Amino acid sequence: MLLHLSTWTEVEVYLSQFTGIIIPIGSTEQHGPTGLIGTDAICAEAIARGVGESTQAIVAPTINVGMALHHTAFPGSISFRPSTLILVIRDTITSLAKAGFTQFFFINGHGGNVATLKAAFAEVYATLADLNMTNAEQVRCQVSNWYMCGSVYSLAKRLYGDQEGSHATPSEVALTQYLYPNAIKQAVLDPNVSKDHRIYGAADFRRRYPDGRMGSNPALATPEQGQQFYDLAVKELSNTYLEFLGSV
């Protein structure tokens, strides 16, 4: 059930039975010479919808922009400041909690979002307590990164080994190829990709990772592999979501 394709009366019915909601969050940032700028949002959205279908959960509209300040020296990247993203998350959860939602399950496509999301969750719990909301103490938030699923991680290692890297990875590129076969890009990729892992400011990042990749070889990606990743992530995160709901 997709929130944006539902009516408020349908949501009212949903809330009479359930209190969980899935929120996809991505990023709008460079993904190397062949990765789509929307990769993280595309992946999170597709998997979140798959999880929503398999668990009958409602899925919120995707948060398309995240915390990607370190990518902003590459054109086309858009980033919220962490302080802005905290407010975005606060407003999103507060709006939904007032209606009765209490379990917020973020399916995330971008590593750079995790720290700010966790900071935001802490800020949100305190804010809801301040508001004297009756269900404030029931509110629970969790972020799950699709690319950190055990099954996904294993497949990526098996298929790509060290060439998986840590940004503009073949696994995420494969998933976008599966979802957008008409948007598969070609470019000559320098085999001497930086093996560094460190991330500081935007100018420093571009100097360290001149074409935007971090240790990855996305040329290995195929749409078929993308489908495998999709299936694994949906299956595993569906279980994670149900456990999250069940656990009090």
Q: Which stretch binds a copy of itself (CB under 8 A): 122-130, 156-164, 221-229, 234-242?
A: 122-130
Give the other-Cβ count within 10 Å of 97's Cβ.
22
Out of 5, 134, 150, 188, the only residue in the binding site for a copy of itself (CB under 8 A) is: 5
Helical (H) or strand (E) element with 135? none
- Return d(Cα 223, Cα 171) in angstroms, integer: 10
Strand 20-25 and strand 58-59: pairing?
parallel
Nearest approach in angstroms of CB 158 to a copy of itself is 27
Decide if residue 69 touches a copy of itself (CB under 8 A).
yes
Q: Three-state SS string across 52-97, please?
A: HHHHCCEECCCECCCCCHHHCCCCCCECCCHHHHHHHHHHHHHHHH
Contact 48, 59 (CB under 8 A): yes
Residue 74 three-state SS: coil
Decide if residue 139 touches a copy of itself (CB under 8 A).
yes
Site for a copy of itself in 163-182 (CB under 8 A): 180
Site for a copy of itself in 13-42 (CB under 8 A): 15, 28, 30-38, 41-42
Contact 101, 19 (CB under 8 A): yes
Decide if residue 128 touches a copy of itself (CB under 8 A).
yes
Site for a copy of itself in 180-239 (CB under 8 A): 180, 183, 185, 187, 198, 200-204, 212
Decide if residue 43 touches a copy of itself (CB under 8 A).
no
Nearest approach in angstroms of CB 161 to a copy of itself is 24
> How many residues comprise the chain?
248
223-246 vs 39-55: helix axis angle to the nearest 10? 50
Contact 32, 218 (CB under 8 A): yes
Out of 46, 63, 193, 232, the only residue in the binding site for a copy of itself (CB under 8 A) is: 63
Comparison of 78 and 242: residue with beta carbon closer to a copy of itself: 78
Decide if residue 148 touches a copy of itself (CB under 8 A).
no
Residues 6+ apart with CB under 8 A from 210: 194
Nearest approach in angstroms of CB 115 to a copy of itself is 4
Comparison of 3 and 148: residue with beta carbon closer to a copy of itself: 3
Residue linked to tokens 């840590």: 166
Comparison of 130 and 191: residue with beta carbon closer to a copy of itself: 130
